[in-house]
Amino acid sequence: MPYMPVTKEEVTGVIASHPGVKVAGVCFMSMFEKAGWLNTVPFDLLIDGTLDPVKVTEMRPRIKCSDPGSSSKE
């Protein structure tokens, strides 16, 4: 994968040295697919976070609440 010093062959080597383990992967924006790992690494579970669509919400300034201990009788 880009900017990662670990190859898919190294990952499969680690998995092979632990027979019977479940293999879980977490990536974002289909990086394992783009790097060709899905055809090499035997994932049992894959979580692929996607940032599309990104929700942007404009928040109103917070209203300062009065002190609940004070009475505001007029």
The pLDDT tens digits of the residues spanning 8-18 come to 999 999 999 99
The pLDDT tens digits of the residues spanning 3-56 come to 889 999 999 999 999 999 999 999 988 999 999 999 999 999 999 988 878 777
For residue 58, the number of C-alpha atoms closer than 13 Å in the C-beta half-sphere is: 0
The pTM for the full model equals 0.62
CA atoms of 74 and 69, how far apart (whole Å): 16
For residues 5 and 69, the model is more confident at: 5
In this prediction, residue 9 carries a pLDDT of: 93
In this prediction, residue 13 carries a pLDDT of: 96
